[in-house]
Structure formats: structure tokens, C-alpha cells
Structure 1
Amino acid sequence: MSTDRLARRYRRLVRAYPSGPRREELLGTLLDAAPPGRTRPTPAETLNLLRYGLRAHLGRPGSRWVVVAAALVAITLGYAGAAFAARATWNAVPDLPSGAGLAEITGTVFTGLPVEGARSQDGLFLDISQKSFAEQLIFGRDEDFEYATYEFGAAGGYYVAGRYRPYTDAVIARMEADGWTVRDVWPTGNTWIATGALDESGRAFWATRDGLSIEFGANTISNSDRMPPGSFYASAILTRLPPWYVTAASIAGLLLGALLGWLLTGWVSRRTERATPGARLAGHTTATLALMITLPQTVIGLIGMVTEPLVLDPPIAPFWSLSLTYGYGCVLLGFLLAVITMVTAAWGGGRDAAVPTDAAKQGTIESARGAPEP
């Protein structure tokens, strides 16, 4: 019974290797070498099987550059997978509050005052350009793509009678009593050029509750030429925060995309290993160019993905927004070059080097058992 359980677990692990007789040979060797009573692979065996199994997909056993290329492609497609998964999951996120729910929020911030406000755009994302799908596919989106907001304040120009400091303190107290968590409070105003000191003329804070964000600001300099005497300007911006399941979907998309990138690199590598010099040069050139033009925004996007849930600031745009705006031309060109690479590998490549030599088989078996790979 224990041998059957061990065999099932080994069989799942050897699937990390390309399909073929290598799997069964490796499985048999692992079972023969296992001591009596063992029911599961050791951590070292698991790590080695996954490590060398993924390496076997790349072919070219004497090359280190293919590993570097596979890692870069995995990072790039991992980011693409994270971006697609995040955007798709946003379709399940509730819209900004409306009706009684919105009135409860605005009434807490501006208690006893008539309130007016406007949404930057319907839905959860702002895209003023309103391009058609075909235009977005060809040209991408405009630079103003970001999270949609609802800005509101006291009716009649967002002016409130009184002093901004005690009013801001009262708003914070009301919101905390209503379940909001105030994340930060800071002074606002102009900075003296000579000294760098802040000439305070207002206060602002950021608060969150139930996946929503409010940034509140009160000051005496906005629209000061039209401000009634004894008043100050106050407004609040309501935004939807990225929920935890969007972050979870991003991580899942990252892992799946990275695995796909590694396997695609392996397929192209094995197909072009025995290709004609012209096909090999064409495939390598287009793949290198695709990586060169997509890696910068991939790195920026991944940094944004990591910092988005951690930064204690109101969100402005999703981590993948750069790929739809400023970097979209690189995304499109990189995708086209990647397609050319795969077509070159499919039509101009040689036989897929999936069947290993006897020496390669023996080296794989020894490496899976923990010995250095020859």
C-alpha cells in the first residue's frame, strides 16, 4: 500500500519532464532506490525533480543562455498573465456605491449639508477617450486610464462655513465612529521657496472601509477668489480599492503565465536546435527583440503589482495601466515579434529534440536522485 502511494506521488512529480519514455524509466529508478516504508518523496527529491524536469523542457543541455532566456520569457508572460487575470477579475468587483449607500457616506462626511458630486465615469475604470475595441487593439488607450472616482462636496461650490482644522477633526471623528479606518492625516499648502517650509493652508486625510477609499481635503486657497468670507473649500474623492481576490487572481495569473513562458521557450528551443542556420537566426533575433522592448515595462508592472497592496496611499491606476497607455506600442510589437518567433520555429525548425540520448537519460536520473548532473 505504501509503495502504491509513493508511486502515485512520484508519478505526479515526473510529469515535470517532457512526455516520453524518460518518465517511466525515471519513475522505475526512483521506486527501486526508495527505502522500505517510504510513502512520499523527500523535499530534496521533489526539488530536484521539478528543477531538472523544467530544465529538460528547454533542450540544449550544454547551454546556459537558454535558461536565462526562459527565465526572462517566464517573467514577461508571467506579468502578462497577472495583468489579464487582474482585469478579468475586476469584472466581479462591485461598483461604487449609489442611492442610499452613497447618501450614507456623503452624509457622514458632510453632515447637515446638502451634497453634490459627480463620477469621473461609469464603471470602475476611467477612460475618457471611449475608443472602439478595434481602436484600442491597434492604438491602445489614452494616458488618462485609471480607477474611476466619485468626487463630492457641499452643494454650491464645495464651500463650508467655519475653519478647516476643527471641521476636519470632526469629519475624522464621525468617520471613525461609522467604521472607517483613517490611514493618514497631513497638512497641505504651498511651500516657501527660500526655506522649503510648508505654509499650511489646509488639512487632508485618507480613510478606508469595506473595500472603499476616501481622500478628504479642506483648504483656504482653492477657488479663493470666489470663496465666501469665513469659509473654506472641502471635497472628498471616493474610490474602490483592489479587493483581495483581485490580488489572488494576479498571483495565480503570474504563476500560470510564467509556466507557459517557460514551456513555450522550451518548445522553440527544441524546435530550433536542429533548424537551418537561417531559421535559427530569424527565431533568435525576433525573440531577442521582443524581450528587449517588453522587459522594461514588465519590470515596472511587476513592481507595481507588489507595491499596490502595500502602499498606504489612495490608488490612482492599476499596476497594468502602463501597458495599455504609454507602453502599448511595445506590447503590440513584442507580441507580433513573439508570434513570428513561434511561426519560424513551427515551420522552419527541425525535429523536436524530445528523445534524449542514453547519456542524457542517465544524467537526468542521477540528478533527480540528488547527484550532480553530468
Structure 2
Amino acid sequence: MPTNGDLLARRYRRLLFCHPRAYRRARADEMVGVLLDAAPAGRTRPTAREAANLIRHGLRCRLGRPASRTVAAWATLAAVVCGLFSAAVAARAAWETARPLPGRAETAALVAAALPGHGLGKVDPAPPLFSFYTRPLTVRQLDNLLLGDGGEYQQGSVVAEVIAAPATSAEETLALAQRRLRETGWQVYEPTVARHSGCADKFCTRTTVTTETTVPARRGDTTLTLQVRTASADTPQLWLDLRRTTPPAVLPAGVVGGLLGAGLGWLVFGWASRRTETPHGGRGAVSVSYALTMALWWAPVLLTVPNLLRHHLDEPHPTWHPLWEWLGQPAGSLLFLAGTATALLALALAALPRREPLPTAAVD
């Protein structure tokens, strides 16, 4: 039966796996011995402080370059962006747990409940949850998606035309819809109004003002957007847009995927960093490739986040845009692919043989 000391030593050694293999071979016995000597009698588990310190120093040790004050910052930059991209991939996979979009029968029931007295006109066939040019994405379209047309990859929705009741004004229609939606359990958001001027005839001798009022609402896993368009004294035109909200599985999947991606990014950066410690013939080229990778990967993120955040603040959103859109993907996939190419180049250069073996450096 193992003694308390044996259990504690085994658990200390597990925590030392955060350190590089060569470092463990050279220092593990010494470190475990010091930790056991400092531990009081009867302890069987490392304290939280000891565990945190061993993990922190182990991760720092994986970066090498003990004299560098900035290597941890560069590693963090790489780990964060790797975590964001892997979280986006995991989130997209988790979106497959969402229910299919509503069909005509469910759409007709929603119209009857929200707008009694109105009819249902044309209903676009339910597309997939995410579509490319309104159609399911296929392998043959990946080149178009990744090489310039990524902005056309969007969340699918059911668009239905609503036939207005006779002699009903836009104001009456909007008031009825908001009241009925609340009565049937929908959370109704503040409507937004947009006005556009246009030509009333082909010679543009007269102009007309079109008013578009949008009413978003949410109930359960469905979002509803009612758009009412009026031009002068014409009968209002109505459209209904139905989508699915973010499935519950997306958040935990994104968190797990993000943590795994960030950890892998840190480890790969640390491997390349230790490989290219002086002397190494490819050190300069690896540094340049790394800088290009970070610039190409972070550029779409830094450009997209402020614009998308402003978009969310300017108008109500029953559900937020998917994570990958916040990262500028797949609209900015060209930059991502170029960054991936420079990252692979950096790793290939780091794998080149070093001029001479380096002794394992201790970390303060």
C-alpha cells in the first residue's frame, strides 16, 4: 500500500508534466525532493498554491529563453488567437445540435397567432442553418468560400410574405403584431425605423419615401423579425424572417475548444521557441514568419470586432452573431490562409537541425 509520501510525490510528478521533457529528466527528482522536504507530515495532496506555481513555472519553462522578458507576451498572443479560432470551429460544430428551421406549417401558425386576419403568401423553402449563396455549402464550393466569397456564408432563415388585412394601416399592423406577440409568449424588442427616398417613375420627376419598420422578437429557440414597408399611401408590405437562436451546446463547446486550442498554441510556440534559441540558423526567419502570422491572423479580428460591436449596439439583436463572424471569418479567410502558410513555414524552419545541442536552462 503506498505511503502518504509516495502519493504526494506521485502527484507532484504529475504537475511537473507542464515542464519540458528534458527539464523533467534533469530536475524532476531534485524538485520533488525539495517539495517533499517542505511538506508537513501527513499531507497527501499539493496545495493549490503549489499546484499553481508548478503549472505557471512549467508553462514558462516550455518557452525557453530564460533571459527574455517578452517571450511570454508573444506566446500569449499566439495562444489567444489559436484559442479563438479553435473555439469558433467547436462552436460551428455545436450549431449542428440546433433544430431545423421552421417549415410552412409552423410559419403559418406563427402568422395566424401574431397577425390574426392576415394571410400567408410565398414562403421560401427552409434553407440549412448556414448557407452559401442561400444554398447548402458543398465541398466543391470551398475554394470560392475560402478565396474571396466568404462573406456569403450566412445564417439561414425562413422568409415569408405576409398578406396584409384589407384597409389596415402600417401603424395598426405594427401595434397588433407587438401586442399579439407579447400575449403569445414572445419577448419583443424595440422596433427600428429606416426611411429611404426613391424615384416614383423612370424619369424621376416625382420622388417617394419608403418607410421600413423592423420588429425583432424571440421565443425559445426561435427569433422572429417582422418587417413592415410602406410607400406613401400604398398598402403596407409585410415580411417575416424566422431563424434559430444559438443552441445551448455552443457555449460549452466553444469554451472547451478554446482552452484546448490555446493550450496547443502555447505548446507549439514553446517548442519553436526552444528550438530556435541561439545558435540556430533559422532563428531570424522564424521570427519574421511568426510576426507575419500574428499580423495576418489578428488583422481581421481587430478590424471586425469594433464594427460588429457597433452594429449590435445600434439595433436590437435577439441573438448575437456567431463567434467566427467576430473573428472576421470566413470573410477574411484569405488572410487566415496566408497566416497559416507563414505559421507552417515557421515550424518547418524551427525543425531544422541546430548547430549544436543546447543545455537545459533553468527558469527563475
Fold conserved (TM > 0.5)?
A: yes
Give the Å deviation of 1:161: 3.6
1:58–1:316 CA distance, 2 compared to 1 (3 A): closer
1:8–1:302 CA distance, 2 compared to 1 (3 A): farther
Partner of 2:342: 337
Give the Å deviation of 1:154: 1.9
Residue among 139, 147, 152 paired with 1:144: 152
1:169 and 2:175 matched: yes
Give the Å deviation of 1:341: 0.7
Determine if contact 2:117/2:165 at 8 Å carries over to the other structure: no
Residue among 344, 347, 352 paired with 2:352: 347
Partner of 1:370: none
Partner of 1:97: 102
Q: Deviations over 1:331-373 (max 9, x none)?
A: 11100011111111112445775x635xx2xxx5xxxxxxxx3
Determine if contact 1:140/1:328 at 8 Å carries over to the other structure: yes
Determine if contact 1:159/1:232 at 8 Å carries over to the other structure: no
Q: Which sits farther off after the overlay, 202-211 or 340-349?
A: 202-211
Partner of 2:17: 15
2-structure distance, mates of 1:185, 1:73 = 40
Report the AA paired with residue 38 of structure 1. R
Partner of 2:37: 32
2-structure distance, mates of 1:202, 1:216 = 10
1:152-191 map, 5 Å: 152-155=160-163, 161-182=167-188, 184-186=189-191, 188-190=193-195
1:15-94 map, 5 Å: 15-19=17-21, 20-21=24-25, 22-94=27-99
2-structure distance, mates of 1:333, 1:101 = 44
Give the Å deviation of 1:242: 1.4
Report the AA paired with residue 290 of structure 1. T
1-structure distance, mates of 2:145, 2:210 = 46
1:9–1:303 CA distance, 2 compared to 1 (3 A): farther
Q: Deviations over 1:98-153 (max 9, x none)?
A: 25433322322232332134448720113118672451475153423221111223
Report the AA paired with residue 292 of structure 1. A
Determine if contact 1:215/1:314 at 8 Å carries over to the other structure: no
Give the Å deviation of 1:9: 3.9
Report the AA paired with residue 104 of structure 1. A
Partner of 1:367: none
RMSD: 3.4
1:315–1:34 CA distance, 2 compared to 1 (3 A): same
Secondary structure of the equivalent of 2:97? coil
Give the Å deviation of 1:5: 5.1
State percent identity of aligned pairs.
Answer: 30
Partner of 1:282: 285
Give the Å deviation of 1:80: 1.4
Secondary structure of the equivalent of 2:180? helix
Give the Å deviation of 1:79: 1.4
2-structure distance, mates of 1:25, 1:297 = 47
Give the Å deviation of 1:320: 1.3
Show structure 1 runs of 5+ residues with no match: 193-198, 365-372
Q: Deviations over 1:308-334 (max 9, x none)?
A: 999951458523136444411111110
Give the Å deviation of 1:299: 4.2
Residue among 115, 137, 143 paired with 1:110: 115
Determine if contact 2:122/2:160 at 8 Å carries over to the other structure: yes
Determine if contact 1:120/1:150 at 8 Å carries over to the other structure: yes
Partner of 2:220: 210
Count residues in correspondence. 343
1:201–1:138 CA distance, 2 compared to 1 (3 A): closer
2-structure distance, mates of 1:244, 1:273 = 45
1:313–1:137 CA distance, 2 compared to 1 (3 A): closer
Q: Which sits farther off after the overlay, 171-180 or 115-124?
A: 115-124
Secondary structure of the equivalent of 2:352? helix
TM-score, length basis structure 1: 0.79
Secondary structure of the equivalent of 1:235? strand
Partner of 2:257: 253
2-structure distance, mates of 1:5, 1:122 = 57
Show structure 2 runs of 5+ residues with no match: 198-208
